Every structure is written in structure tokens, then in C-alpha cells.
Amino acid sequence: MLAAIFVLPYVVRMVRQERAVIDAQAESLELGLYRPASLHPVVNPDQCIGTGNCVSVCPEKNVLGLISGQAIPVSPARCIGHGLCERSCPVDAIQLVFGTSKRGVDLPRIKENFETNVPGLFVVGELGGMGLIRNAFEQGRQCVEQITPELNSEILDLLIVGCGPAGLAAALEAHRKGLNYLVIEKDDIGGTVLNYPRKKLVMTEPMRLTDATSMTSREYLKEELLQLWTGVVEECGLQVQVHEMIHSVQKVGAEYFEITSSTNSYRAQNVVLAIGRRGIPRKIGVSGENRPNVFYSLKDPSHFSGDRILVVGGGDSAVEAALSLCGEANTGVHLSYRRDSFSRIKPDNSARLDEAVQNGRVQLMLQTNVTDISDGEVTLEGEDGTELSISNDFVFIFAGGTLPTGFLNDCGIEIDTVFGANSSSVGLN
């Protein structure tokens, strides 16, 4: 009887916790969060001893859960690749992998030192599958750490393409080592972060950037992060050229690379590609899509206050854009998605969208496809073939983007489609 008094509360608590895991797993399936598109944890059931460390250390919550003393995936698509679960497991039962046995992910072929099949040409950060800011910073640092200066002053030791987190870290390490280097960025300092909506929360982990500057928080507003990074560039005097597009990177014999941009040409002993995976925004192929009032990213919703907006897409980017725009005064926002429900969007975004729809701030148009964009009007077609026209000033399309395969192929980089490959097997440690 005494044993039952002590054991019963433990059993009840375990049952409740498992029930919560089962409910979270069901929600994950409903929202499409069980189909990871990138890095995510896989548990070896033969090794797992059920300590629960992997569950408790994950800041994203509900990526993994415990059922009958066994760690299982709950919402793998929520994983952002920080690897805390993998490092916390005392028996190495967890691996972070790319893709699944059925769903592959295209990645440049790189070695453990981030070098591609082209000697002297490296890939770091999001392009190689590592989107988390802290991991991208670490990759940029580790990659450049191994590069040694050359005696030929007419050739750069290193040219870095992109000034997002990986490119910035590469530049900081090159500066520390005294390399003759240059960073080329097609937009501005921050890279793809610049395309995030205004005041978007960006997740990261505390880290030291320089002796005088650290990132001390897990969450930064987009503007805070960009201000911090711009300050680091100015503080260190990093060699960064913005608003310049790299067109080609060609190896000349075994000696150096010839790089051409929109404004110049360069020679470099080594090249680091620290660009995003999005490449060229995917178009939807309708009449009027090339009009000047059609955009593929949203930087500042306040510029569209009082306008009539159509947002197209079913992912987090589309939903977040619609939510940002509907917060502006007198702005009418329609959200069009070709399916009957949203999949693979964050639960917080789903809840905020439901509230915005109920309050009339967003007009939801499910099972519709845009067929024509004209002056002051957009035409959509419903699943039953009926046409609907709505008054419109601007259209935002979030249909994803394509890996810059053409550019990578021109560089000579080989690309693999990986199915459940772990991070070390593709050179991402």
C-alpha cells in the first residue's frame, strides 16, 4: 500500500505526459510538421535509454517526445538544427539528418572541411543546409580557419560571396588571420535576413562575435540583429562591398579563381560561397506576374498602409507577410492558397491567422489559384472553375525558391540528393 502511494502519482504523471506527446504528434500530422524539409533528429530505438535529455534541452519544444521510455519524433519540421538533442544524449542515440528515406534534399557535395569537389571552393551556411545562425557562424569561422595567406599580393587570399551570418563569420576570421580578402554581397549586410518582414523575431543562441561584441539573447528582432551585424562590420573595418552581384566563379588551372560580378572582376586563391538556398524566387506562371506591383518578399509593411493587398502562398512566409500587412492601418489583405487548409505552418502562426480571419483583418481564399494580374485587379479561379476578381494594388507571392543549381553547376560544383544522410556524411559538423 505504501509503495502504491508513492508510485501512483508518478504513473499518473507519466500517463499525462505521454497523452500530451500523442496529442502533439496528432497536431503535428495535421499541420504537416511531421515531414521535415531539412535538418532534423532521428532516434535509434536500439540505443535510446529514455533519459529524456533530448526532450528537455530542445528550445523549440515538441520536436521529440517520450512514449514508454522511448524518444520519438513529434514535430521534426520544427527542428532548426542547433543539435542540442544530439549533444545531450549520453549514448549517442540521436543523429541530425537531411531528408528522409522518401523525401530527399538537394545539397552541394562538400567535404568535412566545407570544400566542394572543386579545390579551393567552399560552401557554408544555408546553401549547405545549415540555416541556424549560430551553426552558420561556426561553419564560416571553421572554414576560413584553415586558409593560409598567399605571397602574391595581386590575388586575393579569399573572396567571400554573401554577408549573412556565415559570410560575416568568414570575414571576421579572415580579418583576424590577416588574410587579403573581400566580401561581395548582392543586397546589404545581413544577406537573406534583410528579406524578413519588419520586426520579425529571429531565433539564435548566445555567442561572441568579437572581443567587444556578443549576441547575448536567443531572440532578436530583425532590425536589432542587422544593427548589431552592421556595427561589427564598422567596428572591425571588414572589407565588404554591397549591392554587387557575383555572376561567375571559374577555376583557372590549379592556381586561382576568376570571379566576375555586375561591376568588376577579381582573382582569388580561395572562394567561400555563403549564399542562401532560395536562389531565384519561384514564379507561378500567370499573366501579369512581371508587373512592377508584384513582389516576392516583404521588408517593410508600413510602405503598404492603406493599400489593397493579395498574398499568395501557404507557408509561414506567406502567413507572416499577411499578418504583418493586416496590422497596418486601413490595409485590406486577402490570402490565397491553392489547398483547402494550411500545412507545415508554425502553430503560433496558425493561431494568429485564425484570430486575424475571425476579426476580419485577413480575407482567406482557400482552394483558389491566381490566373491574371492586371491594373487594379486580380483574377482567381476556384476549385470548381468559377472565376473571382478582386480589387488590388499589390501582390506578394511566396511560392518558395529554387536552389541556385545553374550557378553552382557553372562553378563546377556537384549536387547530391540525400535521403536521410547525417550531417557528418555531407561535411556538416
**Sign of the dihedral defined by the CA atoms of residues 190, 195, 201, 204, in that order:** negative
CATH topology of 16-98 equal to that of 281-402? no
CA 383 and chain centroid, separation: 31
Three-class SS state of 398: coil
Q: What is the pLDDT of residue 425?
A: 47
Q: What is the pLDDT of residue 96?
A: 78
State pTM to two decimals: 0.71
Q: What is the pLDDT of residue 31?
A: 63
Q: What is the pLDDT of residue 195?
A: 73
Q: What is the pLDDT of residue 107?
A: 79
Q: Which CATH number fits domain 16-98: 3.40.50.1110, 3.40.50.11540, 3.30.70.20, 3.90.180.10?
A: 3.30.70.20
Q: What is the pLDDT of residue 401?
A: 74
Domain spans of the chain? 16-98, 106-279+403-426, 281-402
Q: What is the pLDDT of residue 34?
A: 63
Q: What is the pLDDT of residue 11?
A: 61
Q: What is the pLDDT along the chain (429 residues), one digit of tens a residue?
A: 555 565 566 566 767 777 777 777 777 666 666 666 667 788 888 899 888 898 888 877 778 888 888 888 888 877 766 677 888 899 988 887 776 666 667 778 888 889 999 999 999 987 776 666 777 888 899 999 999 887 777 899 999 999 999 999 999 999 999 999 999 999 899 987 887 767 777 766 778 888 878 888 878 888 898 999 999 999 999 999 999 999 999 999 888 999 999 999 999 999 999 997 766 788 899 999 999 999 998 878 889 999 999 999 998 889 999 999 999 999 999 999 999 888 778 778 888 999 999 999 999 999 999 999 999 999 999 988 999 999 999 999 998 777 788 899 999 999 877 765 555 544 444
At a CB cut-off of 8 Å and minimum separation 6, what does 105 contact? Answer: 37, 38, 98, 99, 129, 417, 418
CA nearest to 222, candidates 319, 320, 296: 320
Grid coordinates given for 110: 562538400
Instruction: Kindly calculate the radius of gyration of the chain based on its CA atoms and give it in whole angstroms.
Output: 24
As a CATH number, domain 281-402 is 3.50.50.60
Q: What is the pLDDT of residue 424?
A: 52
CATH superfamily to which 106-279+403-426 belongs:
FAD/NAD(P)-binding domain (3.50.50.60)
